[in-house]
Structure 1
Amino acid sequence: MNSEKELSGKTVLLMAIAAGVIVANLNYIQPIEGLIAASFQVSKATVGVVAMLTQLGYAFGLLLIVPLGDIFNRYHLIQVMSALSIIALLVAFWAPTVTIFGIASLLIGITSVAPQIIIPYAASLAPALHQGKVLGNVLSGLLTGILLSRSVSGLLGSVMRWQYVYLIAAAAGIILLLILHRYLPRDLRAQQDLRYGRVLGSLPRLLRQEKYLQGAAINGFCLFGVSNVLWSTLAFYLADQYHFGSNVAGLLGLLGITGVLFASVIGRLVDRYSPRITIGLGITFSAVAFLIFASLGHFFIGLMVGIVLLDLGTQFGQVSNQAIVQSLNREASSRNNSIFMFSYFLGGALGTWFSTLAWSHFGWTGVCSVAALFLVIAVLGHFILREPKQLRSMQ
């Protein structure tokens, strides 16, 4: 396959849009948690568990499904998983009880893993010296999907029943599936002689062998955990502190546009300098964000500045870690990505769970304390499991 021919600008844009539309499924719940709790007449902590199930389902989908990208045709696998996620979204729209909605949320997480098949696919098509730039562009789409999903969900939840958020998401998924079927590049790799059980069994060995993968997994776990600490409790804090509804929680998600605008720049910085530097910046931005939340969160401007810094820190970590992971053995690129993203969303799930518990018992101070714990682990991992100084020597 001629990678430069296949990976045109239009192809990268399509992959970025696909990643954004599908990953959005994971975040629709965050601004409307209060509405869901009122609708099902359950506690906010219960809805926090449901939100955690979405992240946890995604983590296990990454662990059990994404490695199939090293076995099967990725063109077909991306479409199959997209179709299954549409079905899960329709179940969430229909769900008559919180139990069924929780099951649907788990299934949404498990089936919405296509972006993590798209990312190593894009990396495999990209020329080596431009891999960071390509990944930055695709991850820009991913982050755009995350922030727009929060905004769309919050705004729709303020003008219609929250269930319609999931119906509209399913409709968007159907349109995307038709476009992918027509325009996504075919996977022309030679079929690998691998068995599913053997592929899954190789994951612990890959993690033991790849020191840089270990460092990326720990850093991703912490930085996405910190991000979810905020976004899982922001709607509660806005209602308690300012008496704002889901629409404001959604609009605040638009502040993450800063991370989107910087994604390709971050990718070029990784190509030119060092992922160790950019990961350190990600930790620093996230830490400063929560210092602002803890000390100035009762001022609305403080919340806004902190959200910008937090999303920027998350994006620095995501692009840098993906550049590291995709620079490793390309024959195992889907498995390496599976290990990294499993850790990433496991951190997100635990960040969601612990922060909602902390909010229920200790309020905003407890939420900021949970973030501080994740950040301490990130700093220790950054200095103990050092990231590579340069990627080119690894390619």
Structure 2
Amino acid sequence: MKPNHPILSTGVVLLFAVACGLAVGNVYYAQPLLDAMAEAFAMNPATIGIVVTLTQVGYGVGLLLLVPLGDLLNRRRLIVTQTLLSALALLMIALASNSTWLLIGMTLTGLLAVVTQVLVAYAATLAIPAQRGRVVGVVTSGIVVGILLARTVAGGMADLAGWRSIYLLSAGLTLVMALLLFRVLPKHEAAQPASSYGALLGSVFTLFKEEPVLRQRAVLALLTFASAMVLWTPLVLPLSAPPLSLSHTQIGLFGLAGAAGALAAARAGHLADRGLGQWSSGLSLLLMLVSWLPIALTQSSLWALLLGVITLDLGLQAVHVTSQSMIYSVRPEAQSRLTAGYMLFYSIGSALGSIGSTAMYAWAGWLGVCLLGAGINAVAFIYWWRTLATKAQPLEAVSH
């Protein structure tokens, strides 16, 4: 039985996007709160990035162990169950009495937040091929906007009611979202192919072996999200310190600027549908590289930081949407496993960027952070160019 495509109405697509944004936001609330958490639990500011890193490690484990289940189990039950468990993990963070419970809660929150990727793959499955890029673009925009607005909301809530308040609020909203998804998601879906869980996990690595586009786009995900975390994870440190001394609310407002850039990139899916994914990727990677110039001026000009944030997140989102649209076109029957493989590299990149950036800030200050981010983006652009050149070689050989 084929998916009932009309069920993927505009309203349902938007619900997917909001659910994804809420779930992935749980992973990123901590970024503008790292200084408050370090103070609350007497953690060293130079190593406080471990909070974000463990969350990304949990996310990576979830991508490998949980997301492939979308190709094996009923996705409605899988999504609702993960959402309910996420609410419990958020309560663990909110009620943490010491750093051990905080880190456990963060790891579990990351593990369960991969429900976003089950939702993205499900939306791609339900969409007709001609609209798949647009649907993926809208849903993925929900993810990126959720990541960025998480910082804004977390900063405001911390100033109003302490850093724990955002996790209590999110636990309540997550419960509401579980109910909505239970009521809206299709009760019946196409029968999943019979397969063991072990074989399912092994097939993720088989896809890497068989699909060059998955390998190439996974490497780009690792590099681009590593550079994004190099910006966002330590950003609270220079902004909260003299001479800027911004509040959590003010720091969180920079997430709004990033959200604007992310929304502007939502049309990247349309370009991928038209066969222009490679060139939109190159332009986006170049934007990310250039964005580090104004970002480096943060301590002398917040307007420069604003411009850099918008540009970097525009490029990041455009590459991400394009990559997912290209990947989902190669194996329609393996959407969840393709997502797991691709996003696993995203998670590794995010974890490395988070822990590396706070260590770099402690060692070389904000300029060192900017050089690290720009260096990663330069490697990403060179890699993209080399993969493009590799594809062109067979065509040149034929022409001769």
- Pairwise same-fold verdict (TM > 0.5): yes
Partner of residue 302 from structure 1, selected from 297, 301, 304:
304
Question: Displacement, 1:387?
Answer: 10
Matched, 1:212 2:210: no
Give the match for residue 195 of structure 1: 196
Partner of residue 339 from structure 2, selected from 337, 340, 350:
337
Give the match for residue 32 of structure 1: 33
Q: Secondary structure at the match of 1:45?
A: coil
User: In 2, are the aligned partners of 1:7 and 1:126 still within 8 Å (CA)?
Assistant: yes
Question: Displacement, 1:146?
Answer: 1.2
Give the match for residue 169 of structure 1: 170
In structure 2, relative to structure 1, the CA distance for the partners of 1:180 and 1:256 (3 Å cut) is same
Counterparts of 1:332 and 1:98, CA distance in 2: 39
Question: Displacement, 1:258?
Answer: 2.1
| Matched letter for residue 246 of structure 1 | H
Q: Secondary structure at the match of 1:162?
A: coil
Question: Displacement, 1:147?
Answer: 1.6
In structure 2, relative to structure 1, the CA distance for the partners of 1:205 and 1:49 (3 Å cut) is same
Counterparts of 1:315 and 1:95, CA distance in 2: 33
Counterparts of 2:144 and 2:256, CA distance in 1: 11
Give the match for residue 272 of structure 2: 270
Question: Displacement, 1:187?
Answer: 4.6
In structure 2, relative to structure 1, the CA distance for the partners of 1:259 and 1:61 (3 Å cut) is same
User: In 1, are the aligned partners of 2:47 and 2:359 still within 8 Å (CA)?
Assistant: no
User: In 2, are the aligned partners of 1:57 and 1:108 still within 8 Å (CA)?
Assistant: yes
1:267-300: CA deviation from partner (whole Å, max 9, x where unpaired): 2122224111111122111111112212565211
Q: Secondary structure at the match of 2:46?
A: helix
Q: Which moved more, 1:271-280 or 1:119-128?
A: 271-280
TM-score (norm 2): 0.94
Counterparts of 2:3 and 2:370, CA distance in 1: 49
User: In 2, are the aligned partners of 1:215 and 1:386 still within 8 Å (CA)?
Assistant: no
Question: Displacement, 1:47?
Answer: 1.9
User: In 1, are the aligned partners of 2:54 and 2:107 still within 8 Å (CA)?
Assistant: yes
Give the match for residue 223 of structure 1: 224
| Unpaired runs of at least 5, structure 1 | 390-395
Alignment of 1:1-395 (within 5 A): 1-240=2-241, 241-295=243-297, 298-386=300-388
Counterparts of 1:98 and 1:365, CA distance in 2: 30
TM-score (norm 1): 0.95
Counterparts of 2:136 and 2:188, CA distance in 1: 18
| Matched letter for residue 94 of structure 2 | F
In structure 2, relative to structure 1, the CA distance for the partners of 1:296 and 1:179 (3 Å cut) is closer
Q: Secondary structure at the match of 2:47?
A: helix
| Matched letter for residue 171 of structure 1 | G
In structure 2, relative to structure 1, the CA distance for the partners of 1:294 and 1:180 (3 Å cut) is same
In structure 2, relative to structure 1, the CA distance for the partners of 1:297 and 1:132 (3 Å cut) is farther
Question: Displacement, 1:262?
Answer: 2.0
User: In 2, are the aligned partners of 1:78 and 1:117 still within 8 Å (CA)?
Assistant: yes
User: In 2, are the aligned partners of 1:137 and 1:263 still within 8 Å (CA)?
Assistant: no
Question: Displacement, 1:388?
Answer: 11
User: In 2, are the aligned partners of 1:281 and 1:316 still within 8 Å (CA)?
Assistant: no
Question: Displacement, 1:377?
Answer: 2.5
User: In 2, are the aligned partners of 1:148 and 1:254 still within 8 Å (CA)?
Assistant: yes
In structure 2, relative to structure 1, the CA distance for the partners of 1:296 and 1:333 (3 Å cut) is same
Counterparts of 2:197 and 2:316, CA distance in 1: 32
Question: Displacement, 1:231?
Answer: 0.7
Counterparts of 1:113 and 1:274, CA distance in 2: 29
Question: Displacement, 1:266?
Answer: 1.7
Counterparts of 1:25 and 1:69, CA distance in 2: 21
In structure 2, relative to structure 1, the CA distance for the partners of 1:201 and 1:4 (3 Å cut) is closer
| Matched letter for residue 75 of structure 1 | R
Counterparts of 1:92 and 1:145, CA distance in 2: 19
Q: Secondary structure at the match of 1:149?
A: helix
Q: Secondary structure at the match of 1:194?
A: coil
User: In 2, are the aligned partners of 1:226 and 1:371 still within 8 Å (CA)?
Assistant: yes
User: In 2, are the aligned partners of 1:211 and 1:385 still within 8 Å (CA)?
Assistant: no
Give the match for residue 393 of structure 1: none
Question: Displacement, 1:2?
Answer: 4.9
Q: CA RMSD in A?
A: 1.6
